[in-house]
Structure 1
Amino acid sequence: MSTTRITPALLISPLLLSALLAGCASTTRQAAAPAPAQAPASAPATGMQAPEAASGYAEKAGVTARKFMVATANPLSTEAGYQVLRAGGSAIDAAIAVQMMLTLVEPQSSGIGGGAFLMYYDGKDVKAFDGRETAPAAASERLFMTPEGKAMPFIEGVVGGRSVGAPGVLRMLELAHKEYGKLPWASLFEPAIRMAEEGFPVSPRLNTLLKSEQYLRKDPAAAAYFYDKDGNPWPVGTRLRNPELAKVLREIALGGANAFYNGQIARDIEAKVKSHPTNPGLLTAADIAGYHAKQRDAICTDYRAWIICGFPPPSSGGIAIAQMLGMLEGRDLRALAPRDGQLTVEGVHLFSEAGRLAYADRGRYVADTDFVPLPGGTLRSLLDKTYLTQRGALITETSMGQAKPGTPPGVTHVALGQDTSPELPSTSHISIVDSKGQAISMTTTIEDQFGSRQMVRGFLLNNQLTDFSFDAADANGPIANRVQPGKRPRSSMAPTLVFDKATRKLVLSTGSPGGSAIINYVGKVLVGTLDWGLDVQKAISLPNFGSRNGPTELEQGRVSDALVEGLKAKGHNVRLMEQTSGLQGIMRTTVGGEQVWFGGADPRREGSVKGD
């Protein structure tokens, strides 16, 4: 099975192209919005790297629509998706147009050189489309080890060809489009092709990340595209053209995904990967040609009055979120809602402790289940209600510091090693609801900021293989998420769909970038909307918080000293840090007795929402 039950073609209007190109001529410098003033908090700890650098915080208002809605990480990609929906396209159609535009305007985060997970609701069933990258056939568990058998430093593995896996996003989108697309495949590429040819304005966030980036300039193709002759990133508002990408997109539009996977583009990727002067890789054109996208069973679990559907392995996001909610279900979270805009100590405490327990299981058990089975060979053990109740009972009035993995039903002992992958993906999230009520939640990534820092024909290559554990085993045995040929690295991406248990109607589509912290970001929105009664924009805008089975992490500059001190009194090791989530969300709500869609975008990034 690849579905989970929850109970003539149009051409794009010429208005789409003119709408997308509006404003591209601007060359005015702009500054990123500063973080809002908050109560002071103690100094931040150092040493915890974020997947992408912060670029400011600007409060956003939610958007209401009655027919359809799209929420993406960039206004230009939002407009592309909106115009497709307006032309009668499906949510899948809009997602394709959005992803192609993001490849151009948000290259640091996702693109056709990377992979994605897509949750789709067709009005009756939930389907999970897996476009995660795969390891080359020549890869071994020693891929990220030094000749002495030690794990190499993370960034040494990232930059270059070694980290590049076979891209999956185009095969996955084509698979979904064949079943659920309404508009012609080629028409969905037109907005990004035209904008690549005519240019788009460099955004404040792209400019900020280019300034902080240390490795991209070392790739001649990337340096020539992103920087001027003096090595400075193009100023905000500069119109940046990418004719090479336009040509590639045109080939894919006309020839389908095969134009990418079975032709010169794949051979050019192989040549780039293998020719890196200091860190060549193993990926071949044959690996790319052999890539297959997959449909998998979504993880759908009950939580109070709702059904929460998340992505299965090779993502750990769906399992971890279901575990956290399962541990918290017996607690009165509604009584712990934020007060006067401030998070409560007890609310953060419970959420963080549940996170510790879920991340402990994640690090021990979860990987690509095509290679490494879960305990008992099924999801049921890790999501067993009795097991989660027992795990939740470990949460007391004081922090446990660091949780140990549990022993799910059917497992007599813990025999797997502990994963050591840093997982710092640079990622983007898309939520869409179309006029038929069909919806997607799609999280898409090239892994680290600007991926492997290798540019081929106008797009960046992923470094997804560094999501594997660099170590292959420890004293307990082999690590589930070790490198193996053809294997998909474990992810924390958590595209999520929520349904009303009584009516089976879609309630919420949400997700986020953010590396392994994605689980906490998405969990925050679920608790914020479902337990605390916030609209999705307010839930997204809440300060980020949680634990990844280490320190209790709080968003720097957005929490009070009272919260910090209250958590310390409960034994928490508190770390204040930038937490650059990129949450998007679309939620069903009632206004004046009428059911409408209400969308929100993360104030920490450049996302936007639009609908009719």
Structure 2
Amino acid sequence: MPMPILPFCRRLVSPVAVMLMVGLPSTTHAEVELDYEAPAIAPESSSTVTEKPGWENEDFAVAAANPLATDAGYQVIKAGGSAIDAAVAVQMVLTLVEPQSSGIGGGAFLMHFDGEDVRAYDGRETAPSGVDGELFLDEEGEPLDFMAAVASGRSIGVPGTLRMLELAHRDHGQLPWEVLFEPAITLAEDGFEVSERLHTSLAEVEHLRDDSIGGDFYYDEAGEPLAEGHTLKNPALAAILREIAKEGSSALHTGSIAEDLVFRVQNHDRPGAMSLEDLASHAAQERDPLCTEWQAYRVCGFPPPSSGHLTIMQILGMLEALPALESPLNDDLPSVEWLHRFLEASRLAFADRDKYIADPEFVDAPGGDWSNMLHPDYLAKRAEQIGEQSMGSDAAKPGNPGPMETSWAVQPEQPEAGTSHISIIDEEGNAIAMTTSIEQAFGSRTMADGGTGEPGGYLLNNELTDFSFQPEDEAGNPIANRVEPGKRPRSSMSPTLVFDADSGELVASLGSPGGAAIIHYTAKTLVAMLDWGLDAQEALNLPHAITLGGPVFLEAGGYPAATLEALKSLGHEASERELVSGLQALQVTEGGSIFGGADPRREGVVLGD
């Protein structure tokens, strides 16, 4: 079936009338009291897989990576808020309770559906104006050790999450901006219980103990991480959030909080180049979403600088071009035959990703249009390379989806990690899918207290390590995703909204953390929900399998030993490893209710009415 990219998704039935309260964060809205109450719940264990029941709700649903964050969104919608209002509240709480994954010191992509149109809001970090392609090279011109680059001022991009949420709130918010910060401020002042996942993350992370603020805040005098169940207060973050609630995103991007952020970057042992001008000038962008027809659905995702949608739909398009399998599932697990095809298609899609996709302000699409990468004829030709045996590690080469003025080099593989995902459908049928990140666990391992002098604060991202460390290949050909001033690094974040191709009705909202593996996690979930007919929770429970073009990794304990051996016999360099996604998915059932699933590998839940 053809897979054209459409400029937007339009509902074919009359939308429900929704009153949008528009204005700057400081604009006076209708008098609203959230009357937030901290819930008497604590995150469940997430160091091992924890069974999740799936949740069905009639009117609205909020899915997020931590129960306290999910509850904040729930209370906002109960108070009359929209999906965007709830997303703001959820993100602020995640900054506090899941600091290892996202926060106001990072960036995010947000997909929004208002009952008629889909809009894409870009809050990706940008490179400071004072950097160049040698940012991550040492004195001999060789790439820095990856972790040395991460735990440095050089890795910190100009944050964009707040600017983006503010823009989306102006367009779609119903409650006043300042009200949405009450849950996070209350929890920061009164304290919350450290979850097992946060405790485990603190125990495992490198370099955070070395940070002058983070080390004192998250570890005791012996260097031991805060215990599970410890009541943690964050007065510095509470003070920062009060300023942002009052002044809007400008409170982070100008003034004393901005000065403190820049000081932390410039005075790192390996300093970065961020300036106050970089912070003040950062702007969120609204981009045209990419909406692609696949089977009976219209799948809408984020355009570059995200590689997520393009790579996911390349994988799905190549699979669709192959002869149908009689049984893609075997004993309720993906079959060896399906896994082989999925992994081979991933190799080919990642080869294209590593050559072509980068910030569109700096890199032209092949043939001038990103849809060329998803043309059915092109994907069918690529799929011809998928045979009965694996093409082998690193054997997949990029294709030629369209003419290019520049001959781009293929970017070498680099680690990607971190992130959190939020999916929300409100009572009016508005929906969001938002993937948010500070990149690595605890980002750059640099904490800022906003100049408050109080304990705590927020983590600064290391998103600039998503750029290629090498600006060009040995032949001097430039790499599309090289470091340049003001550029947004390529991302794998894949917030996704799905619609019925005929009626335009909303079908699902989903996404995941997981670095480059976000693409595999989201692609497999789309297939499981929409092709195999599994519900959201069943789809999220399925074990993972990934390759970035080299070795294949199966989720440890997820498949029988025979599956691993069968893949090896097909030529895959395969082994097991931990693959910790954090999928959230909401699906609209045929009866109109909302069924939600949360990843059993993390501590997230779904709440709604």
Specify if TM > 0.5.
Answer: yes
Question: What is the distance in 1 between the residues matched to 2:221 and 2:87?
Answer: 36
Q: Contact conserved, 2:106 with 2:461, CA < 8 A, in 1?
A: yes
Question: What is the distance in 2 between the residues matched to 1:333 and 1:110?
Answer: 40
Aligned AA for 1:605? R
Task: Please identify, of 436-445 and 325-334, the stretch whose mean Cα deviation from structure 2 is larger.
Answer: 325-334
Q: Which residue number corresponds to residue 285 of structure 2?
A: 294
Q: Which residue number corresponds to residue 465 of structure 1?
A: 464
Question: What is the distance in 2 between the residues matched to 1:264 and 1:413?
Answer: 45
Q: How far did 1:60 drift?
A: 0.6
* 1:5 corresponds to 2:9: yes
CA-to-partner distance for each residue in 1:89-133, whole Å, 9 max, x for gaps? 111000000000000000000000000000111111111100000
The DSSP-based 3-state class of the residue aligned with 1:422 is coil
Aligned AA for 1:233? P
Question: What is the distance in 2 between the residues matched to 1:406 and 1:195?
Answer: 49
| CA 21–535 in structure 1, closer or farther in 2 if over 3 Å, else same | closer
CA-to-partner distance for each residue in 1:519-566, whole Å, 9 max, x for gaps? 000001001111111101111110011321111221011111111121
Correspondent of 2:592 among 589, 592, 595: 595
* 1:159 corresponds to 2:159: no
Question: What is the distance in 2 between the residues matched to 1:460 and 1:85?
Answer: 28
Q: Which residue number corresponds to residue 17 of structure 2?
A: none
Task: Please identify, of 228-237 and 477-486, the stretch whose mean Cα deviation from structure 2 is larger.
Answer: 228-237
Question: What is the distance in 2 between the residues matched to 1:542 and 1:391?
Answer: 27
Task: Please identify, of 470-479 and 534-543, the stretch whose mean Cα deviation from structure 2 is larger.
Answer: 470-479
* 1:416 corresponds to 2:408: yes
Q: Which residue number corresponds to residue 607 of structure 2?
A: 610
CA-to-partner distance for each residue in 1:144-165, whole Å, 9 max, x for gaps? 0011111111011110211111
The DSSP-based 3-state class of the residue aligned with 1:282 is coil
Q: Contact conserved, 1:497 with 1:510, CA < 8 A, in 2?
A: yes
Question: What is the distance in 1 between the residues matched to 2:402 and 2:168?
Answer: 36
Aligned AA for 2:32? L
| CA 282–333 in structure 1, closer or farther in 2 if over 3 Å, else same | farther
Q: Which residue number corresponds to residue 444 of structure 1?
A: 436
Q: Contact conserved, 1:3 with 1:296, CA < 8 A, in 2?
A: no
Correspondent of 2:259 among 252, 263, 267: 267
The correspondence of residues 61-460 of structure 1 with structure 2, limited to 5 A, is 61-276=53-268, 278-331=269-322, 335-401=326-392, 402-411=394-403, 415-420=407-412, 422-457=414-449, 458-460=457-459
The DSSP-based 3-state class of the residue aligned with 1:478 is coil
Q: How far did 1:13 drift?
A: 3.3
Question: What is the distance in 2 between the residues matched to 1:10 and 1:90?
Answer: 16
Question: What is the distance in 2 between the residues matched to 1:568 and 1:414?
Answer: 38
The DSSP-based 3-state class of the residue aligned with 2:606 is strand
Question: What is the distance in 2 between the residues matched to 1:90 and 1:113?
Answer: 24
The DSSP-based 3-state class of the residue aligned with 1:447 is coil
Q: Which residue number corresponds to residue 485 of structure 1?
A: 485
The DSSP-based 3-state class of the residue aligned with 2:291 is strand
Give unmatched runs, 5+ long, in structure 2: 1-5, 12-28, 450-456
What is the percent sequence identity of the aligned residues?
51
Aligned AA for 2:40? A
The DSSP-based 3-state class of the residue aligned with 1:335 is coil
Aligned AA for 1:70? V
CA-to-partner distance for each residue in 1:235-284, whole Å, 9 max, x for gaps? 111110001000000000000111111111111001011111x2111111
Q: Which runs of 4+ in 1 moved over 6 A?
A: none
Question: What is the distance in 2 between the residues matched to 1:565 and 1:23?
Answer: 43
Question: What is the distance in 1 between the residues matched to 2:216 and 2:350?
Answer: 41
Q: Which residue number corresponds to residue 40 of structure 2?
A: 22
Q: Contact conserved, 1:166 with 1:287, CA < 8 A, in 2?
A: yes
Question: What is the distance in 2 between the residues matched to 1:59 and 1:112?
Answer: 31
Q: Which residue number corresponds to residue 497 of structure 2?
A: 497
Q: Contact conserved, 1:334 with 1:531, CA < 8 A, in 2?
A: no
CA-to-partner distance for each residue in 1:573-608, whole Å, 9 max, x for gaps? 112110010000000113xxx321100000101111
Question: What is the distance in 2 between the residues matched to 1:183 and 1:447?
Answer: 30
What TM-score, normalized by structure 2, do the two folds share? 0.92
Q: How far did 1:3 drift?
A: 6.6
Question: What is the distance in 2 between the residues matched to 1:403 and 1:508?
Answer: 35
CA-to-partner distance for each residue in 1:438-492, whole Å, 9 max, x for gaps? 1000000001110001100100000110000000000451000000000000000
Aligned AA for 2:9? R
The DSSP-based 3-state class of the residue aligned with 2:582 is coil
Q: How far did 1:409 drift?
A: 4.1
| CA 195–473 in structure 1, closer or farther in 2 if over 3 Å, else same | same
CA-to-partner distance for each residue in 1:420-441, whole Å, 9 max, x for gaps? 3524231000000001111000
Q: How far did 1:332 drift?
A: 5.6
The DSSP-based 3-state class of the residue aligned with 2:557 is coil
Give unmatched runs, 5+ long, in structure 1: 25-29, 34-54
Aligned AA for 1:4? F
| CA 271–306 in structure 1, closer or farther in 2 if over 3 Å, else same | same
What TM-score, normalized by structure 1, do the two folds share? 0.92
Question: What is the distance in 1 between the residues matched to 2:34 and 2:250?
Answer: 27
Q: How far did 1:330 drift?
A: 2.9
| CA 421–406 in structure 1, closer or farther in 2 if over 3 Å, else same | closer
Aligned AA for 1:57? V
Aligned residues: 579
Q: Which residue number corresponds to residue 551 of structure 2?
A: 551
Aligned AA for 1:469? S
Q: Contact conserved, 1:128 with 1:296, CA < 8 A, in 2?
A: yes
Question: What is the distance in 2 between the residues matched to 1:471 and 1:100?
Answer: 35
Q: How far did 1:572 drift?
A: 1.2
Q: Over the residues paired in the alignment, what is the CA RMSD in angstroms?
A: 1.8
| CA 475–151 in structure 1, closer or farther in 2 if over 3 Å, else same | same
Aligned AA for 1:22? A
Question: What is the distance in 1 between the residues matched to 2:402 and 2:66?
Answer: 46
Q: How far did 1:31 drift?
A: 9.2
Q: Contact conserved, 2:179 with 2:245, CA < 8 A, in 1?
A: yes
Question: What is the distance in 2 between the residues matched to 1:333 and 1:537?
Answer: 25
Question: What is the distance in 2 between the residues matched to 1:74 and 1:158?
Answer: 25
Question: What is the distance in 2 between the residues matched to 1:326 and 1:472?
Answer: 31
Question: What is the distance in 2 between the residues matched to 1:333 and 1:526?
Answer: 17
Q: How far did 1:567 drift?
A: 1.1
Q: How far did 1:342 drift?
A: 2.8
Q: Contact conserved, 2:34 with 2:179, CA < 8 A, in 1?
A: no
Q: Contact conserved, 1:442 with 1:495, CA < 8 A, in 2?
A: yes
Question: What is the distance in 1 between the residues matched to 2:174 and 2:275?
Answer: 34
Question: What is the distance in 1 between the residues matched to 2:486 and 2:404?
Answer: 30
Question: What is the distance in 2 between the residues matched to 1:3 and 1:222?
Answer: 44
Question: What is the distance in 2 between the residues matched to 1:479 and 1:330?
Answer: 30
Q: Contact conserved, 1:343 with 1:563, CA < 8 A, in 2?
A: no
Aligned AA for 1:118? L
Q: How far did 1:21 drift?
A: 4.2
Aligned AA for 2:432? I
Question: What is the distance in 1 between the residues matched to 2:166 and 2:325?
Answer: 42
Q: Contact conserved, 1:4 with 1:125, CA < 8 A, in 2?
A: yes
| CA 10–386 in structure 1, closer or farther in 2 if over 3 Å, else same | farther
The DSSP-based 3-state class of the residue aligned with 2:87 is helix
Aligned AA for 1:529? M
Q: Contact conserved, 1:421 with 1:467, CA < 8 A, in 2?
A: no
Question: What is the distance in 1 between the residues matched to 2:430 and 2:112?
Answer: 8
